[in-house]
Amino acid sequence: MKRLCWALGVAAAVWGLSLTAAELTPRYELKTSSLVTDILVDGVNLYAATYGGSVEVFDTVSKKRVALISLPMITDFMGEEAAPKVYAIDRIGDRLMMVSEGRSGYRNVDLYEGGKVRRIIGSDAQLLIKKGLFVDEDRILLGLLSSELILYRISTGEVLYRRAIKERRSGGSAFSDMALDEARATVATADESGEVNLFNVDDFTHLKLLKGQNVDNIYRIDYRKGTVVTAGQDRRCALYMPDGRAYYLEGSFLIYAAALSPSARTGVFAATIENDLQLFDTQTRQKGALLRGHGATLTDFAFISETEFFSAAEEKRILFWDLKQ
């Protein structure tokens, strides 16, 4: 109870500060060698997936790059060697998973551990994987563009299930994104229909359908403390709360990314054609400061506390924001 009260007090203090300013600027930036597609923070390290066939690792204390994880070159559609785009990354324990471009448009899945890259699914499996998440150290959940989920066991190479997210009709709705809850037991999925579905990861039991706030494709989704936030092509950032409340906030341009703080009290989304970020209080729906600094389409956010987070765009830098400044 004391921790909850403290967290709420911090959130309230942050909002008192961030609402007084018309806009905020980043505290610092991390420079990458290629355009960034996905980021995550684990401890003091930030991992950045790139268009350049690599994952760059930064120490967030020293603000320096400390490692570069490179994937093998591929043969592109023109028959030439090219660096594979890394679409998504996830990490658990000492294992880093990378979903990357493969032959003929299919995807590869690699693990990095012990200083070595090991391929566990190749493009010869002919899977159009958009995202992969660890369920535990031996199981991964894969989201396919065909609007299917695969639960895969790493140690045996076994597909534990391959199931359609929902009944196919009129060609179905292409998968766009997914997010696990803190226990990695429930997954929230999003697609071009604008609907969000919740499933039990172990047995694929359908738990809940969330709809009515987005009317077009959802680009990105985040799932914290039972709360779901979406980033929509319809210029809507929608929020579904565990008590049944739901609403959306409008941006002035396509919303490519959105995220929640660890307590789910603060939200942020890409709100304008100038790639500004909009802070908002999820409980009161009150918009806070605009965060300005990016010059390209937003791709991802990574909160490290209630008051600090990183943001990435299709550019060669990652910005760090401190809401207490």
User: Residue 286 sits in a domain of what CATH number?
Assistant: 2.130.10.10
Please report which confidence band the pLDDT of residue 8 belongs to, taking 50, 70 and 90 as the band edges.
very low
Query: Quick one: 25 and 53 in the same domain?
Result: no
Please report which confidence band the pLDDT of residue 7 belongs to, taking 50, 70 and 90 as the band edges.
very low
Q: How much of the chain, in percent, has pLDDT values that exceed 70?
A: 91
* Residues 124-141 as b or e (16 or more Cβ within 10 Å = b): eeebbbbbbbbbeeebbb
pLDDT of residue 79: 76
The tokens for 296 are 């390209």
pLDDT score of 278 more than 50: yes
Provide mean pLDDT across the span 149-156.
98
Please report which confidence band the pLDDT of residue 325 belongs to, taking 50, 70 and 90 as the band edges.
low
Q: Whole-number mean pLDDT of the chain?
A: 91
Please report which confidence band the pLDDT of residue 186 belongs to, taking 50, 70 and 90 as the band edges.
very high
If one compares 1 and 309, the residue with the highest pLDDT of the two is: 309
The tokens for 162 are 């391959």
Please report which confidence band the pLDDT of residue 314 belongs to, taking 50, 70 and 90 as the band edges.
very high
Query: Quick one: 131 and 50 in the same domain?
Result: yes
pLDDT of residue 293: 95
**Least confident segment among 13-22, 32-41, 144-153, 218-227:** 13-22
Provide mean pLDDT across the span 101-109.
93
Query: Quick one: 16 and 80 in the same domain?
Result: no
pLDDT of residue 14: 52
Could you tell me if residue 180 is inside a domain?
A: no
Could you tell me if residue 59 is inside a domain?
A: yes
pTM value surpassing 0.85: yes
Residue 18 sits at φ, ψ, to 5 deg, of -70, -25
Q: What is the count of structural domains for the chain?
A: 2
pLDDT of residue 105: 87
pLDDT score of 317 more than 50: yes
pLDDT of residue 207: 96
- Cβ–Cβ under 8 Å, residues 89 and 55: yes
Torsion from C-alpha of 183, 93, 263, 245, nearest 10 degrees: -40
**pLDDT by residue (tens digit) across 241-267?**
999 999 999 999 999 999 999 999 999
Could you tell me if residue 136 is inside a domain?
A: yes
Query: Quick one: 10 and 51 in the same domain?
Result: no
pLDDT of residue 21: 55
Q: Is 19 helix (H, G, I), strand (E, B) or coil?
A: coil
Query: Quick one: 116 and 251 in the same domain?
Result: no
Query: Quick one: 19 and 52 in the same domain?
Result: no
pLDDT score of 316 more than 50: yes
Nearest to 177 by CA among 218, 237, 121: 218
Task: Please tell me the distance from the alpha carbon of residue 4 to that of residue 51, in angstroms, as a whole number.
Answer: 40
Could you tell me if residue 150 is inside a domain?
A: yes
The tokens for 164 are 């359609």
Query: Quick one: 324 and 191 in the same domain?
Result: yes
Task: Please tell me the distance from the alpha carbon of residue 298 to that of residue 278, in angstroms, as a whole number.
Answer: 12
Q: Is 6 helix (H, G, I), strand (E, B) or coil?
A: helix
pLDDT score of 288 more than 90: yes
Nearest to 230 by CA among 272, 279, 190: 190
Provide mean pLDDT across the span 202-211.
96
pLDDT of residue 43: 94
pLDDT of residue 3: 43
Burial label, 237 (beta-carbon count in 10 A; 0-12, 13-18, 19+): buried
Query: Quick one: 48 and 126 in the same domain?
Result: yes
N residues, the chain: 325
Provide mean pLDDT across the span 220-244.
97
pLDDT of residue 80: 80
Domain that holds residue 50: 32-164
